[in-house]
Amino acid sequence: MHVVLAGGGTAGHIEPAMALADALRRHDPSIGITALGTEKGLETRLVPERGYQLELIPAVPLPRKPTPELITVPGRLRGTVRAAQEIIERVNADAVVGFGGYVAMPAYLAAKRAGVPIVVHEANARPGLANKIGARYTDFVAVSTPDSKLRDSRYIGIPLRRTIATLDRNATRPEARQYFGLDQRLPTLLVSGGSQGARRLNETITAIAPRLQQYGVQILHAVGPKNELPQVADVPGMPPYRAVPYVDRMDLAYAAADLMLCRAGAMTVAELAAVGLPAAFVPLPIGNGEQRLNAQPMVKAGGGLLVDDAELTPDWVLQNVLPVLTDPQRLWDMSRAAAEFGRRDADDLLVGMVYEAIQAHRGGRRRG
């Protein structure tokens, strides 16, 4: 059996695809897996690092919403669809699984032409254009949130890395805090704006860090590899402030933390819910508002706080984040609420959908 995965461009598309690839291989080590991508996407690094075959196709940017520009897409897509179809037929694909983004649209169209069954996974609460179209061609649509707008979809969550999906935060905390040079006893705030960092979060936490330390809070701050590290000196008797360019071991960062200050990308929200780590979400203020929608279910469940980017100030952190960090009972309650919302088995559930789609296709039941 051979499965083609279409989830290039950003880590939010690539990581679920790689988590599915790992799960497929756990179920059947002999399965063939090919990932589609473009030369400009993060997949050129992330996919080979995970040991999977990557095939590149031309990138065709898609408008976020239906606009007059949309009518030019078919013409620009023709060559890309042909390239994707050649790959699908060359590897003799049994299924194409798409995760949205630039790569997914041509993959869906190519799979439809080649008569190969399609599975769609949508990570965001507000689906993108590629997945809206892909969902028309299949009965097998998986979503990350129970109130998704994609019709006839199944709520499974987001496929996660096994190091995250199987993480026991309490058991791993001593190792994690030692790894980052943190105190074993102090409340810990983890700050990260994603793989590239976030200026608003960085500036806010740098400004308020001394006050948080005075209240007994230690900080692990991933500023982003392209951002300047704050110059912070350890003061005897004060809680640590660990500023790093990037965190490779997010499982240990989650285990070390009691609360996270972060953006609200779909993958971040899913990981935090799965491991039961409460968060103060600061949705990215650009795009179509999907980050706010991503965070809302976990916030409504009691597992997080939500603040607009423009309203994130040092005073807001003092008034809203500090009281949580210094209240063990509230931290425990929020952690439990986040964990109840989380899904750890989405990778295995999506594997089941892939097999189901292939069997339905072989039995003659397919859409489109």
Give the annotated binding-site residues.
Answer: 10-12, 124, 161, 195, 291
Alpha-carbon distance of 291 to 10, in angstroms, equals: 15
Using DSSP, state whether 104 is helix, strand or coil: helix
Annotated binding-site ranges for UDP-N-acetyl-alpha-D-glucosamine: 10-12, 124, 161, 195, 291
Calculate the alpha carbon distances from 327 to 53, 108, 226, 324, 332 in Å. Answer: 48, 49, 34, 5, 9
Q: What does the block give as tokens for 300?
A: 């409504």
Calculate the alpha carbon distances from 365 to 111, 133, 140, 200, 239 in Å. Answer: 15, 19, 12, 50, 61
Using DSSP, state whether 66 is helix, strand or coil: coil
Counts for the chain of helices (H) and strands (E), in that order:
15, 13
Task: Report the residue count for the chain.
Answer: 368
What are the residue ranges of helices labelled H in 219-345? Answer: 250-256, 266-275, 290-300, 314-316, 322-325, 328-341
DSSP run (H or E) holding 109 = helix 104-114
Contact 256, 180 (CB under 8 A): yes
